[in-house]
């Protein structure tokens, strides 16, 4: 028996997209698949290749750009033909898993609007941007082991918080926040001691996925000086189940905003590019922000070149993220600390006014990009619900 794939002409998951993920069909066992419309193609069966029976995308990623192009072209041909019935599943009938085996996770701070907003909040009487910000992509090394797939519940974290006396106490975070971000997946790693030249980034970079870098602002505020984020960030980072290959975003490439002063040579590309990707943040079903990735100051290529500039190695499945995506307008801010201006300007969420996340709240971040045809490309979603802090006795 054969099955024909179907997707409306305006589907964000049409033939121009074809994102990869890892799924388990009703019978169990994880496999690599491609999303087309509201269906999932089992690549092991469709391509008659057992290497796609895998718990993450590594068997594909490690093979490099030539193989990525070959598989993508074969899948584009498949969606125009009939497939074995057992190779096609309804999206509603499968469960999705974390698509990559995250060896290392780095989070950047690449939005000039976000960095300026936080500078004004935290240092109202000083220059918002610190002296190094326009010279390098600022970042921190996150915790790979707490990257979770979209849909995973997030337990409110514990940590130290400053009190009115100036001394800390210990308890559940009170100022729990989100960060709407774009994540980038390394396909081919690099050796220790060998930086990735900015001209070679696309030999290593496989694709893009949505990220929510959950943040406990009260814990972060007490602990981050002098070494930066730690427990306020490391408790959870959510990643979309679907990774859009970089090749699907060719039509979404746009010039970078002007960088002044010009970056140092190792961060200077012959054709610097950003991405025209628009995000939407929904809080308990209510749209509260539309962050624009196209305004990001530092590019994905500059981030990866800087990440390895000291000779740090990368591995297949490594993840780095853009940092919070924000724009110049109030409804373009990609974190609740910005939307509520540090808690001073509560945000309308339906019939309520809110500042930070409460137990039971659900946040869903979606995104779309300019596609090669009239339809926009969807980047899926990254979803998470807040559970109460666990009892600590």
Residues taking part in catalysis: 114
The phi and psi torsions of 219 (rounded to 5 degrees) equal: -65, -45
Q: Are the beta carbons of 114 and 338 closer than 8 angstroms?
A: yes
The phi and psi torsions of 346 (rounded to 5 degrees) equal: -55, 150
Count CB-CB contacts under 10 A for residue 229. 19
Cis peptide before 254 (omega within 30 of 0): no
Count CB-CB contacts under 10 A for residue 195. 18
Count CB-CB contacts under 10 A for residue 221. 14
DSSP β-bridge partners for residue 149: 239
Rounded Cα gap, residues 51 and 65, in angstroms: 17
Rounded Cα gap, residues 115 and 128, in angstroms: 7
Q: Are the beta carbons of 39 and 86 closer than 8 angstroms?
A: no
CA distances from 197 to 40, 139, 194, 208, 268 (A): 36, 18, 9, 20, 10
Rounded Cα gap, residues 186 and 306, in angstroms: 14
What does the block give as tokens for 295? 């305004």
């Amino acid at each position: 028996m054969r099955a024909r794939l179907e997707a409306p002409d305006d589907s964000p998951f049409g033939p121009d997209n074809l994102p990869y993920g890892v799924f388990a069909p009703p019978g169990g066992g994880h496999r690599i698949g491609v999303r087309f419309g509201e269906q999932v193609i089992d690549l092991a069966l469709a391509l008659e290749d057992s290497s796609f029976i895998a718990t993450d995308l590594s068997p594909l990623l490690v093979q490099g750009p030539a193989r990525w192009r070959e598989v993508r072209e074969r899948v584009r041909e498949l969606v125009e033909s009939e497939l074995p019935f057992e190779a096609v599943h309804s999206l509603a009938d499968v469960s999705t898993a974390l698509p990559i085996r995250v060896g290392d996770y780095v989070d950047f701070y690449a939005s000039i609007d976000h960095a300026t907003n936080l500078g004004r909040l935290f240092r109202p009487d000083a220059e918002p941007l610190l002296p190094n910000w326009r010279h390098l992509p600022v970042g921190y090394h996150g915790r790979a082991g707490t990257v979770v797939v979209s849909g995973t519940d997030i337990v409110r974290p514990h940590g130290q918080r400053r009190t009115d006396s100036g001394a800390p106490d210990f308890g559940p975070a009170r100022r729990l926040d989100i960060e709407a971000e774009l994540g980038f997946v390394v396909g081919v790693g690099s050796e220790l001691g060998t930086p990735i030249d900015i001209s070679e980034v696309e030999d290593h970079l496989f694709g893009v996925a949505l990220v929510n870098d959950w943040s406990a602002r009260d814990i972060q505020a007490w602990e981050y000086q002098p070494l930066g984020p730690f427990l306020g960030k490391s408790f959870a980072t959510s990643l979309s189940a679907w990774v859009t290959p970089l090749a699907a975003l060719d039509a979404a490439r746009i010039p970078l905003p002007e960088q002044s002063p010009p970056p140092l040579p190792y961060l200077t590309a012959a054709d610097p590019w950003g991405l025209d990707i628009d995000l939407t943040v929904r809080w308990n079903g209510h749209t509260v922000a539309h962050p624009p990735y196209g305004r990001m100051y530092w590019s994905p290529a500059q981030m990866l070149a800087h990440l390895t500039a000291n000779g740090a190695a990368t591995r297949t499945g490594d993840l780095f993220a853009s940092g919070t995506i924000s724009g110049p307008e109030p409804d373009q801010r990609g974190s609740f600390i910005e939307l509520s201006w540090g808690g001073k300007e509560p945000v309308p969420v339906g019939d309520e006014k809110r500042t930070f996340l409460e137990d039971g709240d659900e946040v869903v971040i979606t995104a779309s990009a300019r596609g090669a045809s009239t339809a926009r490309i969807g980047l899926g979603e990254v979803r998470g619900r807040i559970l109460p802090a666990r009892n600590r006795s």
